[in-house]
Structure 1
């Protein structure tokens, strides 16, 4: 089983991705964390962003971010299993 680690920048959480984090922490398949900075400041400033197993996943809205995270996990992480 692949461990899915999802990280959020606290500034991006304050911007609106907190809604996404709250949904994801209820899913036992995800390890969700928040950091002061995820080192993706350019993306984080302009988009809603989560770092999924080290890769930034971005979106224009929190709802789109949640969809993009699930799509990334399904297509990129679990496709090869």
Structure 2
């Protein structure tokens, strides 16, 4: 199952627009932009996205990209354990 990565349009000004566009190019991900993800406190503090419903936040867009990749990798590892 492909991870769903959600971005808040209001947070795109935090530098996540380029990250969103980059992730959209990966056919392994479903990337969605919403006007609001109802996480206003997080939205104005730092770059963030939701991955499969979990908030992933970081201080910079580059750190957010790494955190998203790590989260997805961790979830895939758990999924593989459950299948075995």
- TM-score, structure 1 normalization: 0.92
Q: Which has the larger radius of gyration?
A: 2
Q: Deviations over 1:7-63 (max 9, x none)?
A: 100011122101110110010010001001011111111010010000010000010
Q: Structure 1 or 2: larger strand share?
A: 1
Q: Write the mapping of 1:1-81 to structure 2, written as runs, cut at 5 A.
A: 2-75=1-74, 77-80=75-78, 81=80
Aligned mates of 2:36, 2:9 — CA distance in 1: 7
Query: What RMSD over aligned residues (CA atoms) do the two structures have, in Å?
Result: 0.8
Gaps of 5+ in 1: none
Q: Structure 1 or 2: larger helix share?
A: 2
Aligned mates of 2:71, 2:31 — CA distance in 1: 15
Aligned mates of 1:58, 1:15 — CA distance in 2: 11
Ranges of 4+ aligned residues in structure 1 off by more than 2 Å: none
Gaps of 5+ in 2: none
